[in-house]
A and B are shown apart, each in its own frame.
Chain A
């Protein structure tokens, strides 16, 4: 496993000639040199990842390119997560294609629910497996690859043809981003989590205010954040239009890495003055926030919502908020109550490991007894795939990252986004409610 880190460790930016943030240093160390924002550069990838949806097109493009091997089988990760357990015959074939690709090109890092011991949603699974190291550059065939910023790694999302090319060459072209230091100020109030921090950012940037930029999160609150909350924070960076979101590893991250024997990169230090822009985000006493449909950046404080927004479904899961912390917050929000009649509560632990830990802690039993349905670790209904699709006129509250029109089902369904404690209180009430008041 250690060989995986040779590139990241040997190419990390070590020059102190020009102050820079983590993003710029990681890109520089992977071949971009001192390319300026806006310039194009070719950078090497420490890891290339794809799933059953991006993989279906990437594998075909890869073979049409005339490639006969992947650049390094140890640095390729394949995760079947979107349409698993296979929703229909076509989905079963997508997954079978991915499995065959792994066999043909000698790729060990293949993960499929039910077939491999460890499985789950890609962005939760890769860090869990110890595949994400600080300072590394990951090209992922999925827009939420930015989640790896939680570990001080640069995760960049791409489409399938880019991924096919990266599989063949081990490199990708990038436009050097302008960097934006997000300076959180103050301490958020009770019943908030990483989700509320990123929603507070989106409230200021809107859905394209950081287009083509790279976010870096600073502030005391970030230094103290748990790994789960950092993943929630970085996951939705792309919802601002940014290509990535990253924070410097803190004690919680270092402990996580040590537990998985992932080497640390001590040279990786962000320079406070090394940014093109600074955005101050005041989160002192922050209340829980909610993103209203159909825009993840249409964010308001929960007490500004009209009351009595009845819910057909509450969905707790996905790569931003399906962690053990989220399941604990969900249970805290439910506060011993049952799910309201007329509301479905779907709970999707984001990985097998999280599912197991939640069982050990008794969370799964509590949730099932409260009336929840436990869905296996899958992307499922997050992207409108399966396992909890909304019908015409239905309204849901979800801990996911997108609430675009029709995202979870019918074009005339609605999705509100919040943290898991809000989801728990709201599941018990059958309507969106403030956990501080219930």
Chain B
């Protein structure tokens, strides 16, 4: 996940207050296989969107995306589906952490939530903090990730970051 390469994808719009119970229902938390979890992604979201989420999707949500339960299975299912990035007017704290910890870019951009339509193709450049719609050249800006979050994303997530940290400490 190199911040220098813009991410590209087609937008699937969700709503405000899409909590993790909606992203992945509790009954599936006895599963551990990401591909199996991915089959149940946003299963209960109205109107149905699950069929349109796949490789190269950018999920665009409103306020408080991912509130509620800390279940990382929700983000794991999103990643397994091939989603490129998350964009939201705002994120719930744990969900945001889970995304960047799994190497999935998550950017807060209320203007994009206001303006960008379902199905739009967009590119996201983390380094410059811009989201662009190439078809008409429209550009929205968002705060660039803090250096630590950028490091995490560059490492591919917290797992690799901690692996390097343990190696440098010379202990496991």
Chain A positions within 8 Å of B, measured between CB atoms, are 40, 53-54, 56-57, 60-61, 64-69, 82-83, 87-88, 90-91, 94, 141-143, 157-162, 164-165, 168-169, 173, 175, 207-208, 211-212, 241, 243, 295, 383-385, 389, 402, 404-407, 411
Indicate whether A384 sits within 8 Å of B25 (C-beta atoms), given known contacts A53-B71, A57-B73, A411-B44: yes
Decide: A57 and B72 in contact? CB cutoff 8 A.
Answer: yes
A211 to B66, CA, bound (A): 12
Nearest Cβ on chain A to B74's Cβ, whole angstroms:
9
Provide the bound-state CA to CA distance between A67 and B158, in Å: 13
Interface string of B17-35 (1 = CB under 8 A from A): 1010110011101111000
CA distance A161 to B17 in the complex (A): 24
Expressed in whole angstroms, the Cα–Cα distance for A54 and B71 within the complex equals: 7
Minimum CB–CB distance for B125 against chain A, Å: 22
Let me know if B30 and A87 touch, CB within 8 A. yes
How would residues 136 to 172 of chain B score, 1 for a CB under 8 Å from any chain A CB and 0 otherwise?
Answer: 0000000000101100000001110111011100011
The 5 closest A-B pairs by CB, nearest first: A384-B26, A159-B72, A68-B172, A159-B98, A208-B64
Query: Once the chains are docked, how many angstroms separate the CA of A159 from the CA of B73?
Result: 9
Q: How far is the CA of A91 from the CA of B165 in the complex (A)?
A: 33
Cβ B17 vs Cβ A295 within 8 A? yes
Q: Knowing A162-B158, A411-B44 are in contact, say whether A402-B21 is a contact too (CB < 8 A).
A: yes
Give the bracket for the number of chain B residues in contact with chain A. 35 or more
**Chain-A contact segment, one of B2-10, B89-97, B110-118:** B89-97
Residues of chain A within 8 A of B26, CB atoms compared: 383-385, 407
A241–B92 CB distance below 8 A: yes
B132 near A: Cβ within 8 Å?
A: no
Supply 24 A–B pairs (Cβ within 8 Å), ascending by A. Answer: A53-B29, A57-B76, A61-B159, A65-B162, A66-B163, A66-B172, A87-B30, A141-B70, A143-B70, A158-B94, A159-B94, A165-B159, A169-B162, A175-B93, A208-B67, A211-B90, A383-B21, A383-B29, A384-B25, A384-B26, A405-B21, A406-B22, A406-B44, A407-B21
Question: B102 at interface (Cβ–Cβ under 8 A)?
Answer: yes
CB <8 Å contact, A212 and B166: no
Find B68's partner among A82, A211, A404 (CB 8 Å cutoff): A404
- CB <8 Å contact, B70 and A60: no
Q: Chain A residues near B75: list those with CB within 8 A.
A: 159
Query: Contact: A404 with B19, CB < 8 Å?
Result: yes
CB pair A385–B90 under 8 Å, yes or no, is no
| B55 at the A interface (CB under 8 A) | no
Partner of A64, one of B17, B73, B101, B159: B159
Quick one: given A158-B97, A295-B17, A405-B44, are A66 and B30 in contact (CB under 8 Å)? no
Q: In the complex, which residues of chain B have a beta carbon less than 8 angstroms from the beta carbon of A384?
A: 21, 25-27
B22, B165, B172: which contacts A404 (Cβ < 8 A)?
B22
Asked if B30 and A83 make an inter-chain contact with CB atoms under 8 angstroms apart, the answer reads yes
Give the docked Cα–Cα distance between A56 and B28 (Å): 13
B133 CB–A CB distance under 8 Å: no
Query: In whole Å, how far is A152's beta carbon from the nearest beta carbon of chain B?
Result: 22
For the complex, give the distance between the alpha carbons of A173 and B32 in Å. Answer: 25
In the assembled complex, which residues on chain B have CB atoms less than 8 Å from the CB atom of A54? 70-72
When the two chains form the complex, which single residue of B21, B70, B166 contacts A67, counting CB atoms closer than 8 Å? B166
- A207 close to B64 (CB less than 8 A): yes
Q: How near does chain A come to B25, taking the closest CB pair, in angstroms?
A: 6
B69 at interface by CB-CB < 8 Å: yes
The answer to whether B70 touches A159, judged by C-beta atoms less than 8 angstroms apart, is yes
* B residues neighboring A (CB under 8 Å): 17, 19, 21-22, 25-27, 29-32, 44, 63-64, 67-73, 75-76, 90, 92-94, 97-98, 101-102, 146, 148-149, 157-159, 161-163, 165-167, 171-172
B92 and A406 contact, CB distance less than 8 A = no
Whole-angstrom distance between the Cβ of A401 and the nearest chain B Cβ? 10
- Shortest Cβ gap from B59 to chain A (Å): 17
B138: min CB distance to chain A, Å: 27
Name the CB-closest residue of A to B148: A40
Q: Max chain A CB contacts within 10 Å: which of B25, B69, B149?
A: B69
B162 contact set on A, CB distance < 8 A? 65, 67, 164-165, 168-169
Query: Residue on A with the closest CB to B28?
Result: A384
Q: Decide: B22 and A405 in contact? CB cutoff 8 A.
A: yes
Provide the bound-state CA to CA distance between A406 and B44, in Å.
8
CA gap between A110 and B75 in the complex, in Å:
27
Closest beta carbon of chain A to B153's beta carbon, Å? 13
Q: Are A142 and B70 neighbours in the complex by a CB distance under 8 Å? A: yes
Give B64's nearest chain A residue, CB to CB: A208
B90 engages A161 (CB within 8 Å) = no
* Nearest residue, chain A, Cβ from B16: A208
A56-B32, A168-B166 as given contacts; A208 in contact with B90, CB under 8 Å: yes
- The verdict on A165 contacting B158 (CB below 8 Å), with A66-B172, A404-B21 known, is yes
Contacting pair B93 A243 (CB below 8 A):
yes
A160 vs B98: C-alpha distance when bound (angstroms): 8
Residue of B nearest to A401 (CB): B68
B71 proximity list for chain A (CB < 8 A): 53-54, 159
Chain B neighbourhood of A60, CB < 8 A:
32
Chain B hits for A61, CB < 8 A: 159
Assembly CA distance A175 to B158 (angstroms): 15
Minimal beta-carbon separation of B64 from chain A (angstroms): 4
Shortest distance in angstroms between A353's beta carbon and chain B's nearest beta carbon?
Answer: 25
A65 B70 Cβ-Cβ under 8 A = no
* Chain A contacts for B69, CB-based, 8 A: 143, 383, 402
In the assembled complex, the Cα of A169 lies from the Cα of B172 at a distance in Å of: 9
Known: A56-B32, A161-B102, A208-B90. A385 touches B157 (CB 8 A): no
Q: Which residues of the partner chain A approach B63 to less than 8 Å between Cβ atoms?
A: 208
